[in-house]
Every structure is written in structure tokens, then in C-alpha cells.
């Protein structure tokens, strides 16, 4: 279940959080964190999420591989969070 922490952040009962920034979305799950690039599109307004920019964990876990299923799970959770926050978006692979 998702909970709105602020206009730009959600937390989940599964233990992860997602923060939406102007140029980046941060995904935090326990002691692991990763991010992906985003961009505002004006007409029509929506947030473009560049899924390909999600590639590895932030330090100190940058040496751990992020497999395809983990990446897909993160993108799915980001999608759910943006929908929950009522943010129009498009994920570009």
C-alpha cells in the first residue's frame, strides 16, 4: 500500500520510497538507492521518465549488479507511485 508523504514523495508498506524531483526520480529501498532522469513536457503536461537511465545502484552499492527483473520491478513501482500521485507520465524505455 502506498502512502503520500508529500506532493512529490510516496512510501510503501513494502519498505520502498519514491521521490519525484524536477530532473530525477529517486528510488530508495532499505539501504539501496537508485535514480533515473526525468523531464517535464509541457503540451500536454506530463513527466517523461527515461527508464534507460536506471542502470545501477548509488554508492556504496554501485558494484552490485541490477538485474533485468529488479530494474523492471523498480520501473513498475515508479509507475504505480506516479499514478498514485496523479502525475501524468510516460516511461521511455
- pLDDT tens-place string over residues 23-56: 999 999 999 999 999 999 988 899 999 999 999 9
Going from the C-alpha of 14 to that of each of 17, 61, 74, 82, 88, the distances in angstroms are 9, 20, 12, 17, 24
Other CB atoms within 10 A of residue 17 CB: 18
| pTM of the complete model | 0.93
28: closest CA among 7, 44, 10?
A: 10
Q: What is the DSSP letter of 83?
A: H
Coil vs helix vs strand at 52: helix
Task: Give pLDDT, residue 44.
Answer: 85
Q: What's the domain count of the chain?
A: 1
Q: Are 58 and 27 in contact (CB under 8 A)?
A: no
Half-sphere exposure of 54 (CA within 13 A, CB side): 29
The percentage of the chain sitting over the pLDDT mark of 90, rounded to a whole number, equals 92
- Structural domain boundaries enclosing 80: 2-92
Amino acid at each position: 500500500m502506498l502512502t503520500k508523504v508529500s506532493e512529490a514523495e510516496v512510501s510503501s508498506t513494502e519498505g520502498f520510497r519514491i521521490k519525484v524531483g524536477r530532473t530525477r526520480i529517486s528510488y530508495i529501498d532499505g539501504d539501496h538507492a537508485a535514480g533515473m532522469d526525468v523531464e517535464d513536457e509541457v503540451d500536454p503536461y506530463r513527466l517523461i521518465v527515461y527508464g534507460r537511465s536506471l542502470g545501477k545502484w548509488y554508492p556504496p552499492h554501485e558494484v552490485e549488479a541490477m538485474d533485468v527483473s529488479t530494474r523492471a520491478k523498480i520501473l513498475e513501482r515508479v509507475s504505480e507511485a506516479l499514478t498514485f500521485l496523479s502525475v501524468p507520465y510516460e516511461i521511455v524505455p
